[in-house]
Structure 1
Amino acid sequence: MTLKSIFKLSLISLLLSSSGIFAADNSAVLGQWTLDMSVQGNAVSVDLAITEDGNGLAGTWTGPAGTNTLSGVSFDGDSLSFSMQTQQGTMNVSFELDDNTLDGSLSTPMGDLPIVGKKSS
């Protein structure tokens, strides 16, 4: 085996063993969340599920109007954000994570609605 071959094998081995170093740690937001908000004076509870798929983060938002698939799910530092298509159009949601609590807002055509959530599993 030549020195060049040994170098290549060593480099490949190093890259394979360190690939986890660069992966984002999404574990803090993965799972089921129970969200509470007020819509036109009415308390509304929503179930949020955040999962990982082959392309990063994914999830669903299940509330009184049914289940919506999330798009553009991003978790950076303590900030979680995503959008979803509803009958009223595209809704953008953003949260700040503090331990097992999400605190944020849902942007609607009528303005922003505050949302607070707790991790349920």
Structure 2
Amino acid sequence: MASAVQAALRKLLPAQVPPSLSTLPGNLYEVLSRYPRDGVGQRVYQTRWGAKGIEGSYWEVTRTKLKCEGQHGKAWGVLVWKGKRVSERDEKIPGGLKYRWAVGESRIKPGFKPLPKPSS
């Protein structure tokens, strides 16, 4: 049954799929609104981190306050940067509307080439 629903959704244009059913990256609050308890407990990352070669980084969401049907709001969490926990306690997650977000951990994009180190 679930696969039939997913197949029907794939046939729709991305603009026709309700935001709560979309699997595409979006602003932080759109992504969190797709999950139970408004995404508390989810790991989220900025999609641009992979393009910059940042791997294994994410925010673990501890609480949220969403409004406007999940288009805006506030979210707090604990930052894990390159596999190491940075935050001692939860803090407000910055850039919720400014960047594109996805669920999971950041990973390096295929074809990523680091910049050469400057010679002194």
Which of structures 1 and 2 has the bigger CA Rg?
1
- TM > 0.5 fold call: no
**What TM-score comes out, normalization by structure 1 length?**
0.31
**What TM-score comes out, normalization by structure 2 length?**
0.31
More strand by share: 1
Q: Which has the higher contact order (CA 8 A, sep 6+)?
A: 2
More helix by share: 2
